[in-house]
C-alpha cells in the first residue's frame, strides 16, 4: 500500500463523520465565546476575609496569653514550693529527732513528703540512736543533713534509761551511785552482718531474711563483685524499700572486699556483670586493643557505649593498673 493511500484512509471523512466534526467544533467555539463574555454580564462578588483574619488573630492571642499564664503559674508554684518546702530554713534550734512533731520538722525546713517518710520509719519501730542514723534517712539530702547536724541532740542510752526509768541513789564506797529500775527497757545489742563476706547462715540470722533472700543476696553479690551500698539490695527480686529499712541497722558493707577488674588486662568475659552488658564489655576491651592501655578508669567513657549513668555504676568495680 502506497503512502498516498495510507494518508487518504486516515484523513478522508464521509458525510456523517464530517457532520460530527462540525458539531463538535461548534460546541467548542460556543464554550470559548461564553467564557470570554460571561465576565462582562456576571458580577464577581469579592469575598471579605477581614472577619476571618480577625478571628485567627484573636485565637493566636488567646494561645499566647494561656502560654504566658501557664509559665507564670509554673514559676509561682516553684516560688511557693521554695517557701513551703525544703528551702524554707528560717529556724534553727536544738532538737531530738525521736518522735519530733511534724510542726517542728516543718520549722526545720522539711517538706510534707520528707516528714511522712520519717514518721513511717518511726511507726515501724525505727529509732535515731546517733546522728549517723539521721544521716542514713534517704529522704534527706546531704546538704540538709549538714545544716541540721549541729542542732541534733540525742541522749545516750544511759541518759535515756535515767530519764525513762525509775531510779534510786545509794552509797557505795563513799560515792553516790544510781540504780536503774528493772522495768527500764534494755538497750538492744545489734549483731551487725558484713554483706560482702557473710554466708547464708549468717544472713538468715537477720530478722526478715530467710533462705530465699540469703541465697539471692549472695548470688547478686557474686555477680556484681561485691556491694558498694546497701541500696543495691533493692535490685534483688522482691526486695523492697520496706524490707531494707527493717534490716538496715543489722547490716554493714566493707568496701575493701569488693572484687575489682583490671581494664588493662581483662577479657570481655571478666567484665560482664549486671551493670555491664556484653556489648559494653566488648567496646571497653576493643578500645584498649586499638588505642593502647587506659591511663585512668574514666577513659572508658571515650567508648560510644559507656554513658554517664553506666560509668557511675561500674567505676567502683574497675581499676586501671
Question: Which string of DSSP letters, residue by residue, matches 179-239?
Answer: EE-TTSPPPP----EETTT--HHHHTTSTT--HHHHHHHHHHHHHHTS-SSGGGGGGSTT-
- For 246, the enclosing helix (H) or strand (E) is helix 241-247
DSSP run (H or E) holding 261:
strand 261-262
Short-list 92, 158, 98, CA closest to 128: 98
Over residues 171-175, mean pLDDT: 45
Task: From residue 66, give the alpha-carbon distance in Å to each of 63, 78, 84, 138, 244.
Answer: 5, 18, 26, 39, 46
Q: Is 94 exposed, middle or buried (0-12, 13-18, 19+ CB in 10 A)?
A: exposed
**Residue that has been written with the C-alpha cell 544511759 in this structure:** 158
88-144 tens-digit pLDDT: 444 777 888 888 888 888 888 888 888 888 888 888 788 888 888 888 887 888 888
Beta strand 251-252 with 193-194 is parallel
Quote the CATH superfamily of domain 193-257.
Answer: AF1531-like domain (1.10.150.280)
Share of the chain above pLDDT 90, in %: 36
What's the pLDDT tens digit per position in 240-278? 999 999 999 999 999 899 999 999 999 999 999 999 999
- What is the rounded distance in angstroms from the CA atom of residue 51 to the CA atom of residue 33? 37
Number of DSSP helices (H) and strands (E) in the chain, helices first: 14, 6
Lowest mean pLDDT among 11-25, 173-187, 214-228: 173-187
Q: What is the pLDDT of residues 286-311, one digit of tens each?
A: 999 999 999 999 999 988 889 888 99
CATH superfamily of the 261-319 domain? Tex RuvX-like domain-like (1.10.150.310)
SS3 302: helix
Has residue 80 got a pLDDT over 80? Answer: no
Mean pLDDT across the chain: 79
Whether residue 10 is predicted with pLDDT greater than 90 in this model: the reply is no
Residue 119 phi/psi, 5-degree rounding, is: -65, -35
How far apart, in Å, do the first and last CA atoms of the chain sit?
Answer: 98
Show the cell assigned to 10: 486516515
DSSP state of 42: S
- How many CB atoms are located within 10 Å of the residue 156 CB? 11
Using alpha carbons only, give the angle 147, 150, 156 rounded to the nearest 5 degrees. 135
Q: Is 184 buried (19+), middle (13-18) or exposed (0-12) by CB count in 10 A? A: middle
| CA atoms of 203 and 222, how far apart (whole Å) | 15
Amino acid at each position: 500500500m502506497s503512502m498516498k493511500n495510507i494518508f487518504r484512509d486516515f484523513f478522508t471523512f464521509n458525510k456523517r463523520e464530517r457532520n460530527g466534526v462540525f458539531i463538535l467544533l461548534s460546541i467548542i467555539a460556543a464554550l470559548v465565546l461564553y467564557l470570554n463574555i460571561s465576565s462582562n454580564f456576571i458580577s464577581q462578588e469579592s469575598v471579605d476575609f477581614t472577619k476571618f483574619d480577625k478571628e485567627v488573630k484573636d485565637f493566636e492571642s488567646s494561645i499566647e496569653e494561656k502560654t504566658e499564664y501557664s509559665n507564670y503559674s509554673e514559676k509561682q508554684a516553684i516560688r511557693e514550693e521554695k517557701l513551703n518546702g525544703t528551702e524554707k530554713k528560717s529556724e534553727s534550734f536544738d532538737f531530738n529527732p525521736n518522735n519530733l512533731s511534724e510542726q517542728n520538722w516543718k520549722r526545720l525546713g522539711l517538706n510534707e513528703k520528707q516528714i511522712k517518710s520519717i514518721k513511717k520509719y518511726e511507726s515501724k519501730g525505727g529509732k535515731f540512736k546517733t546522728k549517723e542514723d539521721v544521716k542514713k534517712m534517704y529522704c534527706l539530702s546531704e546538704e540538709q543533713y549538714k545544716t541540721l547536724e549541729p542542732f541534733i541532740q540525742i541522749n545516750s542510752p544511759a541518759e535515756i534509761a535515767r530519764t525513762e526509768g525509775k531510779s534510786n541513789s545509794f552509797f557505795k564506797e563513799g560515792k553516790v551511785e544510781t540504780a536503774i529500775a528493772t522495768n527500764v527497757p534494755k538497750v538492744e545489742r545489734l549483731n551487725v552482718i558484713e554483706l560482702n563476706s557473710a554466708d547464708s547462715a549468717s544472713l538468715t540470722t537477720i530478722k526478715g531474711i530467710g533462705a530465699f533472700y540469703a541465697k539471692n543476696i549472695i548470688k547478686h553479690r557474686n555477680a556484681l563483685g561485691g556491694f558498694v551500698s546497701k541500696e543495691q539490695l533493692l535490685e534483688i527480686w522482691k526486695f523492697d524499700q520496706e524490707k531494707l529499712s527493717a534490716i538496715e541497722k543489722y547490716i554493714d558493707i566493707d568496701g575493701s572486699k569488693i572484687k575489682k577488674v583490671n581494664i588493662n588486662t581483662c577479657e570481655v568475659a571478666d567484665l560482664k556483670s549486671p551493670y555491664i552488658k556484653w556489648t559494653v564489655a566488648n567496646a571497653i576491651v576493643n578500645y584498649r586493643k586499638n588505642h593502647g592501655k587506659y591511663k585512668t578508669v574514666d577513659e572508658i567513657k571515650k567508648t560510644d557505649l559507656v554513658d554517664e549513668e553506666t560509668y557511675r555504676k561500674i567505676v567502683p568495680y574497675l581499676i586501671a593498673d
